[in-house]
Amino acid sequence: MPRSQLNQVLDAELGPGWSTKLTSFDYEPLAAASIGQVHRAVMKDGMDVAMKIQYPGVADSIESDIENVKLLLDYTNLIPEGLYLDRAMKVAKEELSRECDYQLEASNQKRFRDMLSGHDGFYVPLVVDDISSKRVLTTELISGVPIDKVALLDQGTRNYVGRNLLELTLMELFVFRFMQTDPNWSNFLYDEATKTINLIDFGAARDYPKRFVDDYLRMVMACANNDRAAVIEMSQRLGFLTGKESEVMLEAHVQAGFVVGLPFSKSGGYDFRSTNITQSISNLGATMLRHRLTPPPDEAYSLHRKLSGAFLACIKLGAVVPCRELLLDVYEHYHFGEDEGTLSTASVS
């Protein structure tokens, strides 16, 4: 944004006296993204802060932009029927609308800060309410390097960061049932001096229903234990399958589950340096797109984006992570709902 436009946005959102709350404001952005840009500033008390400022009109254009993309994809016939474009676009529209609400993001960030306050190895920056609004979010400025830079560090550090990222992902889903679903590597900044992963950008955070999480944990355990019957049963309960699929579709779906469950299948460290998970999922995904009878549940779009992001981060790091031990710890402490039913085939083994 030009300086004059930036000042107009800040005046409109924070009032014309916003600059009196700061000792300095850097008009050169620290970073820029599709919906806004980030500027460094210093508070009166000396705290360095990051001010995320949304581009004018972004929130108002989401629906029309997505509809235009959908029309283009429909016209070019590039998207296979098994992708269920209408459902995917509906979910994308809802997610983008939430991400444009910086007051919601501030609330999400405070919630994460509270949830992780007792967990070593993670830090969530303070939100500065006094100079924040629906289109401006001001937070404590933190340091650290993103995941792709951590990949250049020693093996012990890479293992530590990979383990923490996967443990955080499992905690978010199965302990908090509240997950930051954007796995962008720049949202996880590792501070080597304090051995802490600083977490930023909570616009894509969302809750997951208890019943969904109950059954999803059962399905993950079934995948880890190579239990075909339990994978199919849980997939039907969750809405991934209808019960009328062809054997080709069932086999591809189950095998995809086993591939994702592989890191959790055996005790000891799983070596992400030699994995072919992404290629295997890509091959099976092509079959599922051709034979799928129903779109996945809405929760799956954001959840699977985050889970795949956690795996890709571990692959990028070349980390060795005790995945099964992390999953078993979650499973053994998990409290299923009263309607959990029985599923002996998904037992821990």
Q: How confident is the model at residue 341 (pLDDT cuts 50, 70, 90)?
A: very low
Q: Do 13 and 71 have their domain in common? A: no
Please indicate, yes or no, if residue 159 is contained in any of the structural domains: yes
Please indicate, yes or no, if residue 103 is contained in any of the structural domains: no
Please indicate, yes or no, if residue 19 is contained in any of the structural domains: yes
Return the structure tokens found at 294: 């129903």
Question: Which class for 247: exposed (0-12), middle (13-18), buried (19 or more C-beta within 10 A)?
Answer: exposed
Q: Do 52 and 64 have their domain in common? A: no
- Dist CA 227 CA 113 (whole Å): 37
**Which pLDDT score, from 0 to 100, does residue 346 have?**
39
Report whether pLDDT(70) > 60. Answer: no
Q: Do 211 and 70 have their domain in common? A: no
Please indicate, yes or no, if residue 107 is contained in any of the structural domains: no
Report whether pLDDT(63) > 80. Answer: no
pLDDT tens figures, 160-200? 999 999 999 999 999 999 999 999 999 999 999 999 999 99
pLDDT tens figures, 215-226? 999 999 999 999
Please indicate, yes or no, if residue 86 is contained in any of the structural domains: yes
What is the full DSSP assignment across 221-249?
A: HHHHTT-HHHHHHHHHHHTS--S---HHH
Q: What predicted TM-score, i.e. pTM, was given to this entire model? A: 0.89
- CB of 272 within 8 A of CB of 159? no
Enzyme catalytic residues: 182
Q: What is the CATH number of the domain that holds 9?
A: 3.30.200
Q: Do 5 and 74 have their domain in common? A: no
Question: Which class for 349: exposed (0-12), middle (13-18), buried (19 or more C-beta within 10 A)?
Answer: exposed
**Which pLDDT score, from 0 to 100, does residue 76 have?**
55
- CB of 165 within 8 A of CB of 314? yes
CB neighbours of residue 329 within 10 Å: 14
Return the structure tokens found at 97: 């609308």
Please indicate, yes or no, if residue 337 is contained in any of the structural domains: yes
Report whether pLDDT(349) > 70. Answer: no
Q: Do 202 and 171 have their domain in common? A: yes
Q: Do 210 and 320 have their domain in common? A: yes
Q: Are strands 122-123 and 196-199 parallel, antiparallel or unpaired?
A: parallel
Q: Which domain holds residue 37?
A: 1-56+125-141
Q: Do 243 and 321 have their domain in common? A: yes
Please indicate, yes or no, if residue 326 is contained in any of the structural domains: yes
**CA–CA distance from 76 to each of 66, 69, 230 (Å)?**
15, 11, 39
Q: Do 36 and 169 have their domain in common? A: no
Please indicate, yes or no, if residue 42 is contained in any of the structural domains: yes
Report whether pLDDT(56) > 50. Answer: yes
Q: Do 50 and 185 have their domain in common? A: no
- Dist CA 127 CA 102 (whole Å): 11
Q: How confident is the model at residue 3 (pLDDT cuts 50, 70, 90)?
A: very high
pLDDT tens figures, 259-308? 999 999 999 999 999 999 999 998 998 899 899 999 999 999 999 999 99
Q: Do 335 and 186 have their domain in common? A: yes
Q: How confident is the model at residue 80 (pLDDT cuts 50, 70, 90)?
A: low
Mean pLDDT, residues 97-116: 96
Q: How confident is the model at residue 337 (pLDDT cuts 50, 70, 90)?
A: confident
Q: Do 137 and 156 have their domain in common? A: no
| Lowest mean per-residue pLDDT among 10-19, 27-36, 252-261, 322-331 | 27-36
**Which pLDDT score, from 0 to 100, does residue 344 have?**
35
User: How many domains are there within the chain?
Assistant: 3
